[in-house]
Amino acid sequence: MKGRREIRESAVAEYVAGDVSYRELEVRYGVSSSTLNRWVKEHERGKGPEREAIERVARGLAAGREELPREVRELQRELGEARLYNKLLNTMIDIAEEQMGIQIRKKRGAKQ
């Protein structure tokens, strides 16, 4: 599992490399868009930690993105949408369980 530092480096590098929005990064890394915005602004001002590492990763991502076939990019976009959809469904189930006071998700293990 990635630590906070690695998440910050990866998220900022992906944004700097281009072709990805704060919203997509928010879903992918579980970090709010306002936090991502602050990290990118700090990076752009040269105040963020690991600036050189982020630039190196961003250059690699940009170069790698050019080499990816269109189908792979499309699949990556669809995966991001599927993850967002899954998160939405889970949130809806949580709200329904809370409001109705019943368990919707099946529990594993012994019968209840």
Which residues, 6+ apart, have CB-to-CB distance to 50 below 8 Å? 5, 8, 9
Highest mean pLDDT among 23-32, 67-76, 78-87, 98-107: 78-87
How much is the pLDDT for 47? 59
Distances (CA, A) of 38 to 30, 33, 48: 15, 9, 9
Q: Answer yes or no: are the C-beta atoms of 21 and 40 closer than 8 Å.
A: no
Range ranked top by mean pLDDT from 16-30, 69-83, 88-102: 88-102
Give the list of residues 6+ apart from residue 15 with CB closer than 8 angstroms, or none: 22, 25, 36, 40
In the predicted model, what is the mean pLDDT of residues 53-73? 67
Structure token pair of residue 26? 């928010």
- The answer, yes or no, to whether residue 14 has pLDDT greater than 90, is no
- 48: exposed, middle or buried (C-beta count within 10 Å: 0-12, 13-18, 19+)? middle
Q: Taking the model in full, what pTM does it have?
A: 0.44
Confidence of residue 73 (pLDDT cuts 50, 70, 90): confident
Res. 70: pLDDT tops 90: no
